[in-house]
Structure 1
């Protein structure tokens, strides 16, 4: 989920740092989005309510839609964009501890680390089997 451009997206900050940032605000419904520390490619929607930070995992489908991971038996909702997902959860009674009210925006874009590594562009002269690319190898497995 590279190239996230939502103003509340803070990138790969830790859960602890997230809780510090939200707790400073002391406003119920303050939220931010960060990268999941436990599931690569997932995001976390973190919401402050009464001195507790609630964390909800956001997943992106292979078609590009976003959803908040739900408990078994709870119907999932899918959204075309992260902005649409956030808009939905700003409404009351949508299943979160509290509805989203205050976006905690990241301070400065230039302070954000590079969130996505540069893609490896194949060298057209090689057959790509075990080609050394800065210590990485491309390995073909048998069919």
Structure 2
């Protein structure tokens, strides 16, 4: 997923720290659920509390937010459509989505490690080598 507010597999605790650090009502991010396989969590900061809404992907690829019994479900074609809908006030969340908390980019070294390119010899120029005599 290529959304700047999608944080992937971060813990609930890490999520709460990020949202509390931002500290603005309407701050939000999306992460993978720790307890429900395949579900996403929309986490929203409001009045010093974090509200978590589960997002499920249906067989047709559509997205829906889990609702309380008796509340009609809304289905969205894309995650972008879902976010756009909840940016408007009075759509059923504790507050509207206003401030996406963007994922920070990993440091250069850790990115190289993930790509398997942490070989110090990659940066050595051919002119750095010398011939060794027998």
Question: Unpaired segments of 5 or more residues in structure 2?
Answer: 115-134
Measure how far apart 1:7 and its partner are.
1.4
Written as runs of structure 1 = structure 2, the 5 A alignment for 1:15-54 is: 15-54=12-51
Identify the residue that residue 62 of structure 1 maps to in structure 2: 59
Gap regions ≥5 residues in structure 1: 115-143
What RMSD over aligned residues (CA atoms) do the two structures have, in Å?
A: 1.6
Relative to its length, the structure with more helix (as a share) is 2
Structure 2 Cα separation of the partners of residues 61 and 109 of structure 1: 32
Residue in structure 2 matching 1:76, options 73, 84, 91: 73
What's the TM-score once normalised by structure 1's chain length?
0.73
For residues 62-109 of structure 1, what are the alpha-carbon distances to aligned partners after superposition, in whole Å with 9 as ceiling and x for unaligned?
Answer: 000001000111100011110000000000001111000000010116
Partner Cα separation in structure 2 for residue 108 and residue 68 of structure 1? 28
SS at 1:23 equivalent: helix
- Is the Cα contact below 8 Å between 1:28 and 1:50 reproduced in 2? yes
